[in-house]
Amino acid sequence: MGQKQTILVLGKFNTTVLERLKPEFDLIHLVDGDSSKLDADAKPAIKAVINSIGVRLPNSLMDQLPNLEIISNFGVGYDGIDARYAAQKNIMVTNTPDVLTEEVADTALGLLINTVRELPRAQNHLLQGKWQQGGYPLSKLSLRERKVGIFGLGRIGKAIARRVEAFNLPVSYHNRSKAADVSYTYYPSLIELAEAVDTLILVAPASAETNHAVNKDVLAALGKNGVLINVGRGSLVDEKALIKALQDGVIAAAGLDVFEKEPHVPEELMQMENVVLLPHIASASELTRLNMSNLVIDNLLGWFGSGEVVTPVFETQTVTRKY
């Protein structure tokens, strides 16, 4: 019998799902995701890396693993991996689209409603025994009569749009290109979208192009009744500009699941009454995380079995397995 292939697991990962790999593979699991702890002797045997929660995979690690064939990323967003660099080195990269789409869209709507109707604060009022002294004040904002704009009308953006439609609110969007399969109003720039709406939901990927796309001008265009919801990536927003816009009443409120320097959240945001903050949990139900974990493993088993993965990222779509 030939030697087993080795898979490096970086970060926390469902240990029951990892069992699926054990009959065929040796695993090295660095739960803290710190690849600098990897023994030099172990490096040549590593054929695959699982890149799990919150881990960034440096190009230098790809350079140090001479036999690396595939990186299976836990998450649809793969901004923690330089996929173009991987493609140049003939390394396949896969992600976990679709299995989390509806969950993330549910969270986005929950976050939006919590933000405009102040539900977490109303619950605190009750829990702190303040109801006896008086009811919770009327929320300053409402979802009614809002116009919703979506930055990133892809798989999750469309699932959010369907929910927004069900709430009887109009939907517009900005992508680099007009989507063929929807009739929502398209704006060719983010600032035009922000001018046209009062509720902006961010669900575009992190990239050099989208970095700080939501800046002070976009926030000013959103306006003083404006609500910003971010379930995309923290880098989409210039966080300092957002804090100032919230402090100065340039926009009304924000609901954020993602931040520029996670898990760090600026103290100013934590002190504000008009924000709702979540610790990057949009896909984080047991069910959806299980489905994501299984897709990570399906991609690896496909690669080492038939040579076909389920969900390659577009940059590495033409990468093929060398036998």
Contact footprint for ligand 8YV (CB under 6 A): 53-54, 74-77, 100, 280, 283
Whether 103 sits among the annotated catalytic residues: the reply is: no
- In the structure encoding, which two tokens stand for residue 160, read together? 């959010």
Shortest Å, Cβ 43 to ligand 8YV: 24
Of these, 16, 36, 133, 177, which contacts ligand NAP (CB under 6 A)?
177
How far apart CA 61 and CA 77 sit, in angstroms, is 19
Report whether 177 contacts 187 (CB < 8 A).
no
Q: Phi/psi of residue 247, each to 5°?
A: -65, -40
Please confirm, yes or no, whether 233 is among the known catalytic residues: yes
**CB–CB of 270/243 below 8 Å?**
no
Q: Which is nearer to ligand 8YV, 54 or 110 (CB)?
A: 54
Measured from the CB of residue 248, what is the shortest distance to ligand NAP in angstroms? 27
CB of 180 to ligand NAP, least distance (A): 10
Closest separation in Å from C-beta 251 to ligand NAP? 20
User: Is 146 a known active-site residue?
Assistant: no
Nearest residue to ligand 8YV, by Cβ distance, number only: 75
| Binding of ligand NAP by 164 (CB under 6 A) | no
| Partner interacting with residue 149 (select from ligand NAP, ligand 8YV, none; CB below 5-8 Å by kind) | none
171 sits in which H/E element: strand 171-174
Subset of residues 277 to 296 that bind ligand NAP, contact rule: CB under 6 A: 280, 282-283
Taking the CB of residue 252, how many other CB atoms lie within 10 A of it?
Answer: 21
Sheet containing 70-73, strands listed edge to edge, beginning at the edge strand earlier in sequence: 25-30, 5-10, 46-51, 70-73, 92-94
Decide: 282 and 107 in contact? Cβ < 8 Å. yes
- Choose one: 43-51, 83-91, 193-201, 229-237; the region binding ligand NAP (CB under 6 A): 229-237
Options 125, 155, 280, 321, the catalytic residue: 280
Q: How far is CA 250 from the centre of its chain?
A: 26
Catalytic residues: 233, 262, 280
